[in-house]
């Protein structure tokens, strides 16, 4: 029945927004029916850039679990667990750190990009440089075959395969080389037209109520050239249209024609979109309310997942120690 083992994770940065959801989670929900899945919360990874202020981590972990569950991950179908509960990740990371050349880490494009972007934080640290090496340990400790991720994570997957290859060469065949499952990019702009990002305050979140969703949609930036209803519009530069592409595929050709011909007003077009979005997001929001009424479920789900993860990870570490002849 299962097509192989899948592993993926996200850093706990709070409730997911629609960019995160369509970038990964939506796909995970489908994959849990076809593969043996391990989905985790990368709380140690959150420390690589956020080690100075750790005050929100616990809350953010809870929020991420709620997002996982309300979006449709099912503890009967997949394992959800917490990275820091499975110490084997740390042990394997340490062992990989012995043999991973520094040059592999320095040349990783995400390393250079983030250093440049986060000038306000001191992340010229050992831990941050080793981020992809910890990620390799996350993946290989489950001997995962596939890793569903966005395009931005491809360099980390490449490094993971190099680490696996080097280990297998030095100590004997131990790890499979995991392949990415790329999520088709559904690009959703933020409500202000820029990239959707928490730091811009322009997100729509899985935690937003239907009312909030409607308000945010009505404030979205549209084609700036359109002032009156009969002005000819350019859907391709309109954020609302980008959302219709995701939430309202059926009416897309019609909306395009009407917008270009100046036949619908933006207010009406937005109201239509808000209806479609609420239709899609309301069940997720309702599920969230259910969980908030009985928050003990969060811990129950993670403890169940931790147990399953621990079993696989400790088995792999026995193989690893044996292969390295450090099983004294």
276 is a contact residue toward ligand TRP (CB under 6 A)? no
Give the DSSP letter string of 220-253. Answer: ----TT--STTSPP-GGG-HHHHHHHHH-GGGHH
Compute the least distance from the CB of residue 265 to ligand SF4, in Å: 7
User: With CB under 6 A, what is the number of residues at the site for ligand SF4?
Assistant: 14
The Cα–Cα gap between 73 and 68 comes to 6
Say which entry of ligand SF4, ligand TRP, none residue 235 contacts (CB below 5 to 8 A, set by partner kind). Answer: ligand SF4
Residues 20 and 11 sit within 8 Å (Cβ to Cβ): no
207 is a contact residue toward ligand SF4 (CB under 6 A)? no
Say which entry of ligand TRP, ligand SF4, none residue 8 contacts (CB below 5 to 8 A, set by partner kind). Answer: ligand TRP
| Distance in angstroms between the alpha carbons of the first and the last residue of the chain | 38
Q: Which of 264, 292, 308, 324 binds ligand SF4 (CB under 6 A)?
A: 264
In 3-state terms, what secondary structure has residue 328? coil
The Cα–Cα gap between 133 and 93 comes to 6
Query: 291: how many CB neighbours lie within 10 A of its CB?
Result: 19
214 is a contact residue toward ligand TRP (CB under 6 A)? no
User: With CB under 6 A, what is the number of residues at the site for ligand TRP?
Assistant: 14
Q: Where does 96-209 show beta strands of DSSP type E?
A: 146-149, 179-182
233 is a contact residue toward ligand SF4 (CB under 6 A)? yes
- Residue tagged 């270009």 (tokens): 260
Q: Which of 25, 69, 82, 139 binds ligand TRP (CB under 6 A)?
A: 139
Stretch that binds ligand TRP, among 6-14, 72-80, 202-210, 295-303 (CB under 6 A): 6-14
In 3-state terms, what secondary structure has residue 207? coil
The footprint of ligand TRP (CB under 6 A) covers: 7-11, 42, 45, 135, 138-139, 147, 149, 153, 156
């Amino acid at each position: 029945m299962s097509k192989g083992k899948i592993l993926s994770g996200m850093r706990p940065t709070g409730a997911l927004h629609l960019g995160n959801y369509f970038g990964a989670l939506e796909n995970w929900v489908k994959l849990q029916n076809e593969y043996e899945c391990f989905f985790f919360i990368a709380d140690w990874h959150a420390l690589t850039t956020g080690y100075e202020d750790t005050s929100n981590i616990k809350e953010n972990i809870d929020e991420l679990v709620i997002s996982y569950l309300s979006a449709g991950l099912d503890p009967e179908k997949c394992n959800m667990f917490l990275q820091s509960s499975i110490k084997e990740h740390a042990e394997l990371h340490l062992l990989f750190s012995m043999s991973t050349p520094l040059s592999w880490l320095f040349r990783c494009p995400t390393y250079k990009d983030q250093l440049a972007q986060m000038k306000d934080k001191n992340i010229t640290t050992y831990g941050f440089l080793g981020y992809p090496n910890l990620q390799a340990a996350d993946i290989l400790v489950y001997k995962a075959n596939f890793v569903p991720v966005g395009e931005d994570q491809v360099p980390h997957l490449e490094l993971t395969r190099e680490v696996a290859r080097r280990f297998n060469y030095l100590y004997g065949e131990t790890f499979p080389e995991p392949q990415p499952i790329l999520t088709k990019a559904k690009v959703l702009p933020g409500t202000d037209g820029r990239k959707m990002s928490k730091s811009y305050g322009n997100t729509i979140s899985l935690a937003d109520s239907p009312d909030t969703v409607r308000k945010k949609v009505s404030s979205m930036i549209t084609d700036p050239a359109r002032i009156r209803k009969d002005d000819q519009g350019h859907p391709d530069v309109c954020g609302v249209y980008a959302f219709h592409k995701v939430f309202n595929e059926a009416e897309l050709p019609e909306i395009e024609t009407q917008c270009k011909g100046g036949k619908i007003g933006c207010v009406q077009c937005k109201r239509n979109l808000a209806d479609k979005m609420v239709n899609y997001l309301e069940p997720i929001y309702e599920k969230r309310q259910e969980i908030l009424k009985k928050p003990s479920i969060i811990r129950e789900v993670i403890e169940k997942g931790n147990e399953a993860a621990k079993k696989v990870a400790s088995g792999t570490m026995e193989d690893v120690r044996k292969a390295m002849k450090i099983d004294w």
